[in-house]
Structure 1
């Protein structure tokens, strides 16, 4: 657990923009004909800080005869590592480095919008809760010395108990929210089966599936476009894939081994949307199949980004309403208690 949080902290320090720049520089060197070992050595020589540490780690990894991508696992998100691993395994490293850099740029764009939607409402709610605790320890405690809590109006009692919970139980609430977030993440990345397919059909619940499908289509299209046959491409993508994606790939491989020659039908495991599959079936025999896969993946990514931004705005609105509700409860609660004391 300690290592996990340390990894998260490291990736926050070596943020998306720095990660993107690192991959773009490496891709540029490779496209100019520089060997991978020399490119990493050049980055190591001219860089400093985290970038130099990453290049040093990659150099050591290559010197030990390991895969280059093993030197990135500590510094980059798992999804980005998967993209680069697929490129290294298929001999399309330069293209996949650019694809990974583009994915990081998109993630950075979404993160910026989410933060702008959530920061202000979160500050408002936090200040309202802090104010509630301060008022409880000053005004409400003085009121309780004048009149017992049991004789207060219901609104005043509720306000007092809420303040007590926030003052002494905030850590439990925060821990609960973190636990729920971890459980949701584990569920979506690991749970598979027929019932999971039903869950994926519901709005919002399908967001994880759509995100995985977009990345899968882009990578598969990239591999096929570079001459990798479908069977080999699926094997590459299944390597160290999360259980959810690995399950879908396993079903695709089963359909492929069963003699289905239409690639679109092979991909029909309910990972891709029906309209995407229909379009792929139409052009499955043509030369533009790989390009269409990549384009569909990009379009799906754009839709997913918009969904994430919209959900962030809705969540920000809900948090803002909660903050306003706490402020209103403070005002009406104190008024109700004051009226009771005046009688």
Structure 2
């Protein structure tokens, strides 16, 4: 048990440091000086020894990679299980074309862009979820303890009509609180659907947060990988085939990639139509169209994945912020409605009750 935890922690540390490791390897293999350059097994062996002497858990990963390399495995295969599939795909293509340095540069770019986009998208998705959960819990508490007592004092006739729907909902939810556990079932289903749900109806849902945020992140990641594979010497068609057969390709991404490949074979001259599968936002499609007017598809994708990457990341972050803003406004309105029912609604009910009592 303890060893399993140690291995898990070692993988986590390696994953966080992989950008530095790529840079260190890149510096070695691109060295044009006269000194002897270490081989990859030697590098990982040295790192394993140094980390082991310091009693650092990451030594386990370094040692495992060294052993795989010495057994004859390719570098990308030796890294399997320790890095994301998209980065392994880039490194594999770079090895095959003898452009490992370019592949490592692309992997560094992918790692940085993915981290930046994932942080923005995850924050935009989780904050509304937690706030919504807070609203549901507060509704159950109000429906169980506050509203029954107030409704026993002031019957429905005294309450303003706009407050009654909330009161009825809160009391119904308190009486059926076990339905909240459906949320614990719905959440895993939602995460499963992100990567596995495909089809025409998914294209419609992809326009609505939080699915739109996942779509934009996936689309931008695909651009980065395509650019890296093209830089390693592959054509667009070859790069798409490589992605489709890789472990990084989820059913959702595969559905879009298959459409792209079919359209490319059917009408290679109309490159922009190939990308209009619903995966890329209109802003990214427009940027691609502008680039395709003066460049080949290979050059356009390479340019989008490298020179315009910061703009693409900014588009994804802006989209995530906008979606987050919409969700927060809606939740804010729900909380405001609840507070208004407690303060203004209850005050009106009390005033109406007193007025009727005085008339009697």
- The structural deviation recorded for 1:177 is 4.9
1:158 to partner: Cα distance: 4.9
Whether 1:182 and 2:186 are equivalent positions in the alignment is: no
Query: What is the rounded CA distance, in whole Å, between the counterparts of 2:172 and 2:64 in structure 1?
Result: 50
User: Which residue of the partner structure matches residue 224 of structure 2?
Assistant: 218
TM-score by length of 2: 0.65
**Over aligned residues, Cα RMSD in angstroms?**
4.8
For 2:122 and 2:223, how far apart are their aligned partners in 1? 25
- Structure 1 residue 105 displacement after superposition: 3.6
The offset of 1:147, in angstroms, is 5.4
Larger Cα-atom Rg: 2
* Structure 2: stretches of 5+ with no match in the other structure: 1-7, 30-37
User: Match for residue 106 of structure 2?
Assistant: 96
TM (normalized to structure 1)? 0.67
- Gap runs ≥5 in structure 1: 1-9
Q: Who is 2:198 aligned against?
A: 191
**CA offsets 1:312-334 (integer angstroms, 9 cap, x no match):** 22322322232222222222454
Secondary structure in 1 matching 2:243: helix
Provide the C-alpha distance between the structure 2 equivalents of 1:302 and 1:84, rounded to a whole number of angstroms.
25
| 1:66–1:333 Cα change, 3 Å | farther
- Distance in 1 between residues matched to 2:149 and 2:298, nearest whole Å: 80
Residue deviations 1:16-57 (CA, integer Å, cap 9, x gap)? xx8443332343234323444344444544557774555455
**Does structure 1 conserve the Cα–Cα contact (< 8 Å) formed by 2:158 and 2:349?**
yes
Take 2:138 and 2:258, find their aligned partners in 1: how far apart are those partners? 55
Question: What CA distance in whole angstroms lies between the structure 2 residues aligned with 1:322 and 1:22?
Answer: 43
Task: Report the Cα distance in structure 1 between the residues aligned to 2:198 and 2:288, rounded to whole angstroms.
Answer: 24
Deviation at 1:63, TM superposition (A): 6.7
Answer 1 or 2: higher relative contact order, Cα 8 Å, separation at least 6: 1
User: Aligned partners of 2:141, 2:215: CA distance in 1, in Å?
Assistant: 45
Cα distance in 2 for partners of 1:323, 1:94 equals 49
- Cα pair distance change 1:148/1:97, threshold 3 Å: same
2:124 corresponds, among 111, 114, 125, to 114
Distance 1:339 1:133, change over 3 A: farther
Which residue does 1:5 correspond to in 2?
none
Partners of 2:76 and 2:91 within 8 A in 1: no
Q: Secondary structure at the match of 2:307?
A: helix
Counterparts of 1:265 and 1:100, CA distance in 2: 24
2-side partners of 1:180 and 1:286: how far apart?
A: 37
Partners of 2:112 and 2:23 in 1: CA distance = 12
Aligned length: 320
Residue 318 (structure 2) pairs with residue 306 (structure 1): yes
